[in-house]
Chain A
Amino acid sequence: MTALHDLLPLLPPGTRSLVGAGTTVVRSVRGVVGAPDEVGRALVDGDGDDVVVLLTPVGRADARFDVLLRRAAAAGTGALVVDDGLALGPGTTALADRLGVEVVATPDPWTASVRIHELIGTGTAPAARAALAVSRVALDAGPELDDLFGRLDRELGHPVRFLDASGLALRGAAVEEAARAVLVRRAGTSDVLTAEGAHETLVAIPVGTGIGPRAWLAIGLPVPLPAEQEVVASALRVAAVAVGHRLLLTRLDDERDARYRMAMLDELRAADGAPAPQLVQRSIAAGWRLDAWHVGARMVARQVVDPVALRQQVDAVARAEGLDVVVVEQTDGWVLWCSAPDEPDREAVAETAARLRRAQNTLRATVETNVGVGSLQAGPAGLVRTLGEAGDAARLAASRPESGHFVHVDRLGLAQLLLAWTQTDTFLPASRQLLAPLERGGGALLATLAAYLDAESSIAETAAVLGVHRNTVADRIARVERLLGVDLADPETRLALHLATRARAGDGG
């Protein structure tokens, strides 16, 4: 049973109810040509259709329209559909209300009549027509997805939504949680599925390209009319093929560009600061300013992602933060850099890092990343260096949830980098073992050794730092050499012990 108000949104735009709440149950519809009195004569007492559409413009609601309303009431017709040029006065409205005949105005009675017929019908002709119409749209539309989507919107009369595999809307309104759950659960399907939500019924079909993740094409119907679902499903089947085709073309383009960029960056790295003129020329053509000041960044995805597909989004979030960046795909993420013709000051570099951090946050809705930012460097060699630093910083960021998995290599950061290198799984136990003999005796020996090495092996300086007598320092150093069985005059030994004391300090020991 379909109520009239459920049909109204699916009729030609501008269709509205003039009288009544749309409670008429629509089981049959009839379009009649002629003036109101002729239409009235076509109605059979007690055996009228539920909805009668006046195909001829009425002109004005005069006594003849009153007579028609009475005829409609006698025939059991619940609603009249008229052209929207008809203005109902209070008298006509009151009479229609009294007789229980609803009045709907539409800019296009013919189309409205046919639409209602189709919406309450069971035939397959509307579905076939929709499929044909979409196939024509698919052929006419350009290579751009937006063009195709816009034409589909107009042809189908419903906004077409494009969703990623998880049901996140990439185009169009968001999908209700319940419907998203259905999409995720039925991810393996290859045909149309429907998901009932609180406010709409989602008709969705997977878009397969053979490469990359799957996506969904979907249309939300405010009213779950079986006939309309059938029409939309058949339209979506054709549309999915057309969308998949365009996705594939776009994907091929993107892949080619990505490979080109990755290869060029690899060549730059290999050129060791002195790129060949051809390489410089190519990089300029790609919009890369090599002879400038660079701040590099490395983004490593914390889960498996498709860097080629997401490059656009990375670029967009960086640009949304006002960063003019170059983004190059890597197997596990992206490298980015900003170039400036003049040397930026410290504040500008710090601002760039802050913006990259905000971009990382924005991107979190799509993908979690570790981000490392290199220091300011100049020229082609500098670019390679800052990207290298950024790569190291990104690895460091992986174990830094407290900093939001974000590390910026500035001067302070370099020290942290050093520390990071010592805090490896192999070095930490080794340093603990190496310094274990010094643990006995309250740690004074360890503190003295650390201070002594920091003070460039100066007994006097160490005594000053620790606030003890220089003989005490000399005595303790002698005991350290004895306990560890080492000679602190040896540079290799000094370096190893220096690193070990740093690691112990970082280790909290």
Chain B
Amino acid sequence: MTGLQAGDAAVFGRGTALLGCGGGGRVDHMVSALRLALADRSVPVVRLDDPALRTVVAVGLVGSTTVLEEKMPSGDELPAALAAVERWTGERADAVVAAQIGGVTGPAAALTAHAAGLPLVDADLVGRAVPRIDQLSVFVGPTASVTAAATTTSGLRIVVEARHPVDLETVWREAVSHSGGWAAFAIGPVPVELLRERAVAGSVDRALRIGRAAGDARDAAELAARVGGRVVVQGRVIDVQREGDAIAFVHSSMAIRDADTGAIARVEAGSEYVHCLVDGQPVASTPSVITVVDARSLLPVPTDRTRVGNELAVLVLPSAPWWWGDPARTERMAPRAFGVDADVVPEPVP
């Protein structure tokens, strides 16, 4: 892979949306912005093992993705955050990496790289979408102090040096709730050695492959087959229940009756789809990528858009193997970390 071009934007966005697991924010506006910004140029995409890399800044968005839809980015927020963190640390970044590939952050990272004139690393820190910053892989395991900057839509710039990512999260959430509803953030610069140890490599490529497959596939089964996943249920939604919850922002539970087998599947979600059962038997959970698509258009359906009567297919794609490498990592991505009280369901060995 040499670079992302304007023509790749839509495919890339579709892939990141599917990897968003029902959360991560809507990609449409960001994809349009990326396509227009790229025009006839391209963003270079470099592999994580590129010897030229030294330090990399991770970028992403924090806050309410709903507000993000209504209050669109001006395009300056992410470069401003990147600049702030560079100025504070006095280090220049060699490249930009997406904090998480899933959802709006994927295209946003590409746009930031383009704006800053830096290459985009073919990797991310999750391999999907997560609700909290401490779930980024760089924060799993021993961490030196973190430097990060955030820019809110109201123009507020905050640079935080924290010993622990949870402090970072606390400060930003507080700032965001008082200033604009969402913020762009930049973390780092992160030494490339740490990234090589902890980041999920090949994420950009994977998003492109998934996006392409979704565009070509005729049905959910074909899509699943092409991206190495499986369809656990396909049919009509018979029940959707939503309620507020102290841990996650929202908790919802959806029941689907499989059109072929009559099986009753339940998908539980926080801000992402987290846990899936068929006939009372748990079949998938985070860290696996549980994503829900419209059965006909194969377009991703966010957790807050499911309705009784929808014809949906639930796809499960394998998670980044990194998360299974150590019980401490798996625990950080377990359903309980998403506010759903359930045990981790191991992925079937292919």
Are A67 and B282 neighbours in the complex by a CB distance under 8 Å? yes
- Among A88-96, A328-336, A432-440, A456-464, the stretch that binds chain B is A88-96
Q: Which residues of B from 331 to 350 have beta carbons under 8 Å from A?
A: 340-342
Are B264 and A91 neighbours in the complex by a CB distance under 8 Å? yes
The one of B255, B279, B340 that contacts A70, using a Cβ cutoff of 8 Å: B279
- Among A58-66, A128-136, A494-502, the stretch that binds chain B is A58-66
Chain B residue with Cβ nearest A67: B280
Q: How large is the interface on A (under 10, 10 to 19, 20 to 34, 35 or more residues)?
A: 10 to 19
Residues of chain A within 8 A of B281, CB atoms compared: 67, 70
- Known contacts A66-B277, A67-B277, A69-B280; is-contact A90 B255 (Cβ 8 Å): yes
Chain B residue with Cβ nearest A72: B280
Are B264 and A63 neighbours in the complex by a CB distance under 8 Å? no
Complex Cα distance, B269 from A62, in Å, reads: 11
Chain B residue with Cβ nearest A89: B239
Residues of chain B within 8 A of A482, CB atoms compared: none
Residues of chain B within 8 A of A70, CB atoms compared: 279-281
Give A354 Cβ to nearest chain B Cβ, in Å.
Answer: 68
The one of B241, B254, B280 that contacts A99, using a Cβ cutoff of 8 Å: B280
Q: Is A199 in the interface zone, CB < 8 Å from B?
A: no
Are B264 and A89 neighbours in the complex by a CB distance under 8 Å? no
Give B222 Cβ to nearest chain A Cβ, in Å.
Answer: 27
Are B263 and A98 neighbours in the complex by a CB distance under 8 Å? yes
Residues of chain A within 8 A of B255, CB atoms compared: 89-92, 94-95
- Known contacts A91-B238, A94-B238, A98-B279; is-contact A63 B253 (Cβ 8 Å): yes
Residues of chain B within 8 A of A99, CB atoms compared: 279-280
Give B347 Cβ to nearest chain A Cβ, in Å.
Answer: 18
Q: Is B275 in the interface zone, CB < 8 Å from A?
A: yes
Interface SS, A side: helix
Q: Is B266 in the interface zone, CB < 8 Å from A?
A: yes
Chain A residue with Cβ nearest B267: A63
Q: Which interface residue of A67, A68, A71, A99 has the most chain B CB atoms within 10 A?
A: A67
Are B253 and A91 neighbours in the complex by a CB distance under 8 Å? yes
Q: Is B262 in the interface zone, CB < 8 Å from A?
A: yes
Give B282 Cβ to nearest chain A Cβ, in Å.
Answer: 7
Interface string of B235-263 (1 = CB under 8 A from A): 00011010000000000011101000011
Give B342 Cβ to nearest chain A Cβ, in Å.
Answer: 6
- Residues of B bordering A, CB below 8 Å: 238-239, 241, 253-255, 257, 262-264, 266, 268, 275, 277, 279-282, 308, 340-342
- In the A-B complex, the 7 residue pairs with the closest CB atoms: A91-B255, A70-B280, A91-B239, A95-B264, A90-B239, A66-B280, A89-B239
**12 interchain pairs, CB-CB under 8 A:** A63-B253, A63-B342, A69-B280, A73-B280, A90-B239, A90-B255, A91-B254, A91-B255, A91-B264, A91-B266, A98-B264, A98-B279
Given contacts A68-B280, A98-B263, 11 further A-B pairs with CB under 8 A are A62-B253, A62-B268, A63-B282, A66-B266, A67-B280, A70-B281, A73-B280, A90-B238, A91-B238, A94-B264, A98-B262
- Residues of A bordering B, CB below 8 Å: 62-64, 66-71, 73, 89-92, 94-95, 98-99
